A and B are shown apart, each in its own frame.
Chain A
Amino acid sequence: DGGITQSPKYLFRKEGQNVTLSCEQNLNHDAMYWYRQDPGQGLRLIYYSQIVNDFQKGDIAEGYSVSREKKESFPLTVTSAQKNPTAFYLCASSRGQGILNTEAFFGQGTRLTVV
């Protein structure tokens, strides 16, 4: 079945440690996105990539890093520089550019807790 897989579902880390969240899609989508969700704040865009080997900062990129070495993979690293990393992280993909290609499909999310 085609879809987007995020792993792990739950992740615990000690403060000061970097952590990498996985996102894989087999939909053959060009574009991929990372969102952060906090209660009452909706979805906030961290980074996005429209094509392999290229990515752009979103609205809250500070303290995060990404890579897009393969079309199907878009891992997100939460660095120790992120001041408040505990949140629900969502990965999404879409076919890409163009009005009819903007429908985003989401993974199940990763809940990161930093203690």
Chain B
Amino acid sequence: GQQLNQSPQSMFIQEGEDVSMNCTSSSIFNTWLWYKQEPGEGPVLLIALYKAGELTSNGRLTAQFGITRKDSFLNISASIPSDVGIYFCAGYNAGNNRKLIWGLGTSLAVNP
């Protein structure tokens, strides 16, 4: 099935650093979603984006819907140890049989 290109695949950072990750697609999407998954748990929705150019924040997290509608990025400011996990992007386009298309995830490790 189709997948989004998510990068980087993994990140190892020091506590307090800022983090940036992104997803790109060859197709246009109407919705971009960002999730976080902790070990042994289901993904939890962090931010939902519905409009090209939209910039949305959730605490220390900020995500943007790319103006071309083919990309999105997620920033985490001033990282803390509990930010550890896998971050997934997902895109929706009604033409994809009304399914979400997923990235492979960015694994984040934070050194305290």
Binding site for B on A (CB under 8 A): 4, 6, 40-45, 48, 50, 56, 58-59, 90, 92, 97, 99-100, 102-109, 111
Contact = CB atoms under 8 A, between A and B. Distances in A.
Contact of B100 (A6, A50, A90, A102): A102
B100 A99 contact: no
A69 B31 CA distance: 29
Given A43-B102, A45-B99, A102 B92 contact: yes
A42 B3 contact: yes
A99 B92 contact: yes
Given A40-B104, A99-B31, A108 B42 contact: yes
Nearest to B103: A42
Interface of B: 1, 3, 30-31, 33, 40-45, 48, 50, 88, 90, 92, 94, 97-100, 102-105
A99 B31 CA distance: 7
Contacts of B88: 42-43
Contacts of B94: 99
Given A106-B43, A108-B41, A108-B42, A42 B1 contact: no
Looking at A48, A102, A111, which has the most chain B CB atoms within 10 Å of its CB?
A: A102
Contacts of B31: 99-100, 102
8 contacts: A4-B42, A40-B104, A44-B1, A99-B94, A102-B31, A108-B42, A109-B42, A111-B40
